[in-house]
Amino acid sequence: MGLTESTATRLLALNSLDVLPNSAVSVEGTQVGLVWSGQRVAVLAPSGSQVLSGFEGESSATGDRTLLLGPTRPANLDALRELRPWMRPRPLGTRMSAAFGVTERLTGENAQGIYDHLQERLASPEYAPRALFETFGVEVLCTTDAATDTLEHHATLRAEGWGGRVRPTFRPDAVTDLSTAGWRHNIDLLSQASGIDVVDYRSFLEALQERRYFFKEMGAVATDHSATTPHTERLSETEVQGIFARALSGESSSEDAARFTANMLVEMAGMSAEDGLVMQLHAGSLRNHNTVVHRRFGLDSGADIPIVADWTRGLRAILDERGNDPRFRLVVFGLDEAAYPREIAPLAGHYPALLLGAPWWWFFDSSLGMRRYLDAVIETAGLYNTAGFNDDTRAFASMPPATTCGGA
Q: What is the pLDDT of residue 408?
A: 30
Give dist(CA 85, CA 81) in Å, integer.
Answer: 7
Judge whether 19 lies within some domain: yes
How many domains does one find in the chain? 2
**Same domain, yes or no: 38 and 143:** no
Q: What is the pLDDT of residue 3?
A: 42
Q: What is the pLDDT of residue 1?
A: 34
> What pLDDT was estimated at residue 135?
82
280 and 134 assigned to the same domain: yes
Q: Do 211 and 304 share a domain, yes or no? A: yes
> Given this model, what pLDDT does residue 318 score?
98
Q: What is the pLDDT of residue 251?
A: 97
Model pLDDT, residue 98: 53
Using left for φ > 0, alpha for ψ between -120 and 50, and beta otherwise, residue 24 falls in beta
Across the chain, which has 408 residues, the per-10-residue mean pLDDT values are 51 69 73 77 81 80 83 79 63 55 78 89 89 83 94 95 90 97 97 98 98 97 96 98 98 97 98 97 90 83 86 98 97 91 95 85 69 88 82 65 43
Same domain, 401 and 264: yes
> So what's the pLDDT on residue 363?
57
Residue 115: inside a domain: no
User: Do 189 and 63 share a structural domain?
Assistant: no
The CATH number for 368's domain is 3.20.20.140
Write down which residue in 87, 113, 143 finishes a domain: 87
Range of the domain at 81: 5-87
Asked if residue 171 belongs to a domain, the reply is yes
Question: What pLDDT, on the 0 to 100 scale, is given for residue 94?
Answer: 44
140 and 71 part of one domain: no
Instruction: Based on the fold, state whether residues 83 and 132 are members of the same structural domain.
Output: no
- Is residue 117 in some structural domain? no
Which residues, 6 or more positions from 65, have their beta carbon under 8 angstroms from its beta carbon?
A: 44, 45, 46, 47
Per-residue b or e along 346-385, where b marks 16 or more CB atoms closer than 10 Å to that residue's CB: bbbbebebbbbbbbbbeebbeeebbebbeebbeebbeeeb
